[in-house]
Amino acid sequence: MKKQKKSFFLDLKKDIEKANYDKETENGILQFIDDIINKKIQVRAHPNKKNSRQGVYFQARTL
């Protein structure tokens, strides 16, 4: 599983670098992904029964 995560992250990093973001934005995206992989941030999606949209929630872990 760790090889899959590393491979995914490396492929994603290449895609982000090709997307022509400025360096600060690129670093922020990569840090956000790294925080998700390292479980510093949880991403959850909760369906809303009143309409078809879903809510996406980010939760930072307190250390």
> 9-61: per-residue pLDDT in tens?
788 888 988 998 999 999 998 898 888 878 888 877 666 656 555 566 667 76
Q: If you search the block for the tokens 């250390």, which residue do you land on?
A: 63
Gap between the Cα atoms of 38 and 49, Å rounded: 31
Model pTM score: 0.62
Specify which residues 47 forms β-bridges with: 54
Gap between the Cα atoms of 44 and 29, Å rounded: 18
For residues 30 and 19, the answer to whether their CB atoms sit within 8 Å is no
